[in-house]
Amino acid sequence: MTDFDVVFTPSGRRGRFAEGTTVLDAARTLGVDLDSVCGGRGICGRCQVAVGANPDIPADPARLSQPGSTETDYRGKRPLGEGRRLGCAASVLADVVIDVPAESQVHRQVVRKDAGVRTLPVDPVVRLHFVEVAEPDLSSPTGDLERLLSALESEWGLTGLSADPGVLPELQAALRKSAWKVTAAVRGGTELVAVWPGFRDAVYGVAFDVGSTTVAGHLCELTSGAVLASEGAMNPQIAFGEDVMSRVSYVMMNEGGADRLTSEIRRALDIMIGDLCEAADVSRDTILEVTLVGNPIMHHLVLGIDPRELGTAPFALATTGPVSRRARDLDLDLKDAARVYLLPCIAGHVGADAAGAILAEGPHRSDAVQLLVDVGTNAEIVLGNRHRLLAASSPTGPAFEGAEISGGQRAAPGAIERVRIDRNTLEPRFKVIGSELWSDEPGFAQSISKLSITGICGSGIIEVVAEMYLAGILTTDGVIADRDHPRIEAAGRTSSYILTDDPPIRVTQTDVRAIQLAKAALQAGCRLLMTHLGVTDVDEIRLAGAFGSHIDPVHAAVLGMIPDCRLDRVTAAGNAAGLGAMMALLSGAARDEIETVAETIEKIETATEASFQDEFVAAMGFPNSTHPYPHLAATVDLPEPRQSERVRRRSRKEPA
Ligand code: FES
């Protein structure tokens, strides 16, 4: 029999094969990444290929066998595209180039446009294998499981498989229901985790981002990487404290408090799984993987670990490593073998959410020095590039979330989220969540007729304080200037800025101080990492989290939340932590990657660093009392440094 050259693209793998060898067999022999669930039975349609060409071998369909009944009768879920052949049915008749399209590869990239056009690697943790199992025989008394494992070995080369005990209760019924033909799910090529009667070609997972305020979940098909449904919900733990530290206080002061918070969040996750399944029309028993990110306190509470150690120095985590638990151990009503994987934490206040953000943003894959900031009650800060990565947390407190601010509130309809102040008249205009219009635009009053203005949320308070500084209402050191103006109201020994009359929303001196303390902590944390890394400048700043998406880079820089940087390189990272959870859901290699990176990240403890206090004091000024902001000054007319008398006597002059 004649042998022919078979060349696969894009892998470039090649070999000589006997006439009549199927393309799938040739691919398997060469280790080419060509998918198959049905094992060459012409059912799954995952092995689709096309005839290609190279300088030596022209494209000619006749180099493969004519389509037989397997292909002409094929009616699978993945229709055969124009010029496509089933690799398991087409056989080699001459030298041939075989093109393996991306969708026929097990390891592939999927593009997520909703995540800012990102390419996510898909490298499924769980794979499906359709097999025919030998029937039991009195003369050969082996168990059903043993015969299934034997079939997986002979048909799929899966040697030495173990079986999750959760498979056993469903195994015998599955085999008998479908005439000994079943689909087996194998995790990591080593463990049998589920069996379904007949042929099945989809298996699912859920990626969770557990924030202290909201929980987001995404249901994905594990082999294609498709996101089939996404849901968001409030974290029910809010009833026990607005921010993470107040929840730790709740645990400290209430017997059984940790258990209660744990059961609340687990119940919310289980409900969300149900909602996601309903939205995607997917059965719960086909979900085999769950990944989860969250700050250290959410991470611990989901796992049922008392978080009080995280409430006081030295903020010891129960573990910084990744954690894998049975879903049922976390009260999730999923198949017995379904697993929950929690990404590693980095340090006491730099959690699995930061690990998720790092995985998604990839500073460790970049030459540019990236500053990744996730603002919360504790800001999580990561700085570096492929050569070195540092992380720290900084105690910003809840001011950026609208707490501790006289008119502050959480971002919700009715909250002021944007503010501009006229530099000459000092008159404000603003936008309210729930309306697209600015307050000075025609129709604004009607647009909020069903809302009432209830307060000012985090992005609003950042903007109003930055605008007050730009308009000269605030001095460089944050004192509301004593000016004779109807918008400035004396309040005891200090003054307030009247943002709205009805309802009366004031920005008080105490509010400004709270924002100064928060932003100084954040900037000082960033600068501490810059000092450790030996840089005076960063190439780009990514603001992660929902809050980061709402912060205007210019106002963040004017306020001095972040170090100086080209403003076109200060961008929102979106839900980077959630995207990281999704990457870990879809790719075992992504899990390995973040586990390796997390081990190499240098943790800097802000509380024990002598220079933190100096940086903090300097960062109290707008945008900073000692560090210049040339990039910002090139974009924005910053006021001349003007300090209150009290501070001017003690402080250094700000460099030009
Ligand atoms: Fe399933 Fe070819 S391998 S159709």
Q: Is the pLDDT score of 648 beyond 60?
A: no
Q: For residues 248 and 285, state if they share a domain.
A: yes
Residue 112: the pLDDT is 64
Q: For residues 381 and 240, state if they share a domain.
A: no
Confidence of residue 649 (pLDDT cuts 50, 70, 90): very low
% helix, strand, coil for the chain, step of 5: 35, 25, 40
Could you read off the pLDDT of 599-635 as tens digits, one per residue?
Answer: 999 999 887 888 899 999 999 999 999 999 999 999 9
User: In this structure, is residue 112 part of a structural domain?
Assistant: no
* Atom nearest to 86 CA in ligand 1: 2
> pLDDT averaged over the chain?
91
User: In this structure, is residue 228 part of a structural domain?
Assistant: yes
How far apart, in whole angstroms, are the C-alpha atoms of residue 264 and residue 261? 5
Q: Is the pLDDT score of 391 beyond 90?
A: yes
Q: Which of 398, 302, 388 is nearest to 345 (CA)?
A: 302
Give the CATH number for residue 381. 3.30.420
Burial category of 70 from C-beta neighbours within 10 Å (exposed 0-12, middle 13-18, buried 19 and up): middle
**What are the two backbone dihedrals, phi and then psi, of residue 591, each rounded to the nearest 5 degrees?**
-65, -45
Q: Is the pLDDT score of 349 beyond 90?
A: no
Q: Measured in angstroms, how far is the CA atom of residue 41 from the centroid of ligand 1?
A: 6
User: In this structure, is residue 385 part of a structural domain?
Assistant: yes
Could you read off the pLDDT of 491-505 as tens digits, one per residue?
Answer: 788 899 999 988 899
Give the CATH number for residue 247. 3.30.420.480
Last residue of a domain, one of 49, 74, 106: 106
Average pLDDT over residues 14-38: 95
Strand partners, 111: 119
How far apart, in whole angstroms, are the C-alpha atoms of residue 49 and residue 80? 9
User: Listing from the earlier edge strand, what are the strands of the sheet with 14-18?
Assistant: 14-18, 3-9, 96-99, 48-52, 84-86
User: In this structure, is residue 350 part of a structural domain?
Assistant: no
Average pLDDT over residues 102-125: 78
Residue 321: the pLDDT is 94
Q: For residues 289 and 375, state if they share a domain.
A: no
Q: Is the pLDDT score of 568 beyond 80?
A: yes
Q: For residues 338 and 262, state if they share a domain.
A: yes
Residue partners of 534: CB distance under 8 A and separation at least 6? none
Output Rg (C-alpha) for the chain, integer angstroms.
Answer: 30
User: In this structure, is residue 121 part of a structural domain?
Assistant: no
Q: Is 408 in the pocket of ligand 1 (CB under 6 A)?
A: no
How far apart, in whole angstroms, are the C-alpha atoms of residue 245 and residue 464? 26
Could you read off the pLDDT of 635-646 as tens digits, one per residue?
Answer: 998 888 766 644
Q: Measured in angstroms, how far is the CA atom of residue 15 from the centroid of ligand 1?
A: 21
Residue 464: the pLDDT is 96
Average pLDDT over residues 555-584: 92
Q: For residues 484 and 591, state if they share a domain.
A: no
Say how many domains are in the chain: 5
* Atom nearest to 70 CA in ligand 1: 4
Residue 301: the pLDDT is 95
Q: For residues 210 and 316, state if they share a domain.
A: yes
Strand partners, 290: 206, 340
Q: For residues 212 and 330, state if they share a domain.
A: yes
Q: For residues 208 and 331, state if they share a domain.
A: yes
Residue 116: the pLDDT is 54
Last residue of a domain, one of 486, 509, 532: 509
Q: Is the pLDDT score of 214 beyond 60?
A: yes
Give the CATH number for residue 139. 3.10.20.880
Give the mutation target among 23, 69, 71, 86 for probing the ligand 1 site: most ligand atoms within 8 A of CB: 86
Q: For residues 169 and 219, state if they share a domain.
A: no
Q: Is the pLDDT score of 575 beyond 90?
A: no
Average pLDDT over residues 99-115: 80
Q: Is 292 in the pocket of ligand 1 (CB under 6 A)?
A: no
Domain that holds residue 328: 204-342
Q: Is 27 in the pocket of ligand 1 (CB under 6 A)?
A: no
User: In this structure, is residue 641 part of a structural domain?
Assistant: no
Could you read off the pLDDT of 292-325 as tens digits, one per residue?
Answer: 999 999 999 999 999 988 888 788 898 999 999 9
Name the closest-CA residue to atom 4, ligand 1: 42
Q: Is 86 in the pocket of ligand 1 (CB under 6 A)?
A: yes
Average pLDDT over residues 374-380: 82
Last residue of a domain, one of 509, 542, 574: 509
The least confident of 248-262, 360-374, 394-408, 510-524 is 394-408
